[in-house]
Chains A and B, each alone.
Chain A
Amino acid sequence: GENVEQHPSTLSVQEGDSAVIKCTYSDSASNYFPWYKQELGKRPQLIIDIRSNVGEKKDQRIAVTLNKTAKHFSLHITETQPEDSAVYFCAASKGPGTYKYIFGTGTRLKVLA
């Protein structure tokens, strides 16, 4: 069935370093890929998303890249700060009008000061 694999499950980086989280999806019809950040005790919040007609998208220190051929997409956080510490989830869906997101299992990022 459809699934999204996410790696690593935990990631520790020194403040100021970069962090990369990778997801691989199985359904080639997927065309929308959001990333959510969930701080401890809080709701998941969308931080960036990408559609399949784009290879890369940036928003300040956060970027997402998509390789449709390989069916994987990655979240890149540069110049990490302690407030980046959270659980990050990737997801894949077939776009507007479809209801189902397939979520990855999450990555716990710790930024060490």
Chain B
Amino acid sequence: DVKVTQSSRYLVKRTGEKVFLECVQDMDHENMFWYRQDPGLGLRLIYFSYDVKMKEKGDIPEGYSVSREKKERFSLILESASTNQTSMYLCASKQGATDTQYFGPGTRLTVL
């Protein structure tokens, strides 16, 4: 059974803080993703990584960066958090040659 975990379920930060969201998967998946989920907007792709140290911008990368130093771990970084980054953040992973993405439980981030 695929397991994708995220470091926090709930996080509250102040404007201007640097924020790290971590995602870990235990199935040796090559591909990992970070999405943002907002009401009425569905899931929007922020960044994805197709291999260690490899990353590509998604649809809404502004204000975010990512790091993938190890295959199982994909971090999302908010360099200077802003109130419009208050959202639910979902991580996902998949095997490279397959279709199905597996999601983590999400981190609800509030920026005050």
* Contact surface of A with B, Cβ cutoff 8 Å: 6, 9, 32, 34, 36, 42-46, 49, 89, 93, 95-97, 99-101, 103-106
* Contact surface of B with A, Cβ cutoff 8 Å: 4, 31, 33, 40-45, 48, 50, 56, 58, 90, 96-106
A99-B105 contact, Cβ under 8 Å, with A44-B90, A105-B40, A105-B41: no
Bound complex: CA of A95 vs CA of B48, how far in Å? 16
Across the interface, name the chain A residue whose C-beta is closest to B38: A105
Across the interface, name the chain B residue whose C-beta is closest to A100: B45
Across the interface, name the chain B residue whose C-beta is closest to A99: B48
Across the interface, name the chain B residue whose C-beta is closest to A91: B43
Q: Which of A45, A95, A105 contacts B42 (CB 8 A)?
A: A105
Please give, as numbers and ranges, the residues of chain B lying within 8 Å of A106 by CB-CB distance: 40, 42
Told that A34-B101, A49-B100, A100-B48 touch, could you supply 20 new A-B pairs with CB distance under 8 A? Answer: A34-B99, A36-B103, A42-B105, A43-B4, A43-B104, A44-B103, A46-B100, A49-B99, A89-B42, A95-B99, A96-B97, A97-B96, A97-B97, A99-B33, A99-B48, A99-B56, A101-B101, A103-B42, A105-B42, A106-B42
Bound complex: CA of A9 vs CA of B42, how far in Å? 11
Please give, as numbers and ranges, the residues of chain B lying within 8 Å of A44 by CB-CB distance: 43, 90, 103
Bound complex: CA of A61 vs CA of B83, how far in Å? 42
Please give, as numbers and ranges, the residues of chain A lying within 8 Å of B97 by CB-CB distance: 96-97
A45-B103 contact, Cβ under 8 Å, with A89-B42, A101-B45, A103-B43: yes
Chain A nearest CB: distance from B1 CB in Å?
Answer: 12
Chain A nearest CB: distance from B107 CB in Å?
Answer: 11
Across the interface, name the chain B residue whose C-beta is closest to A36: B103
Q: Decide if B100 touches A43 in the complex (CB within 8 Å).
A: no
Q: Which of B45, B48, B50, B103 contacts A43 (CB 8 A)?
A: B103
Please give, as numbers and ranges, the residues of chain A lying within 8 Å of B101 by CB-CB distance: 34, 46, 101
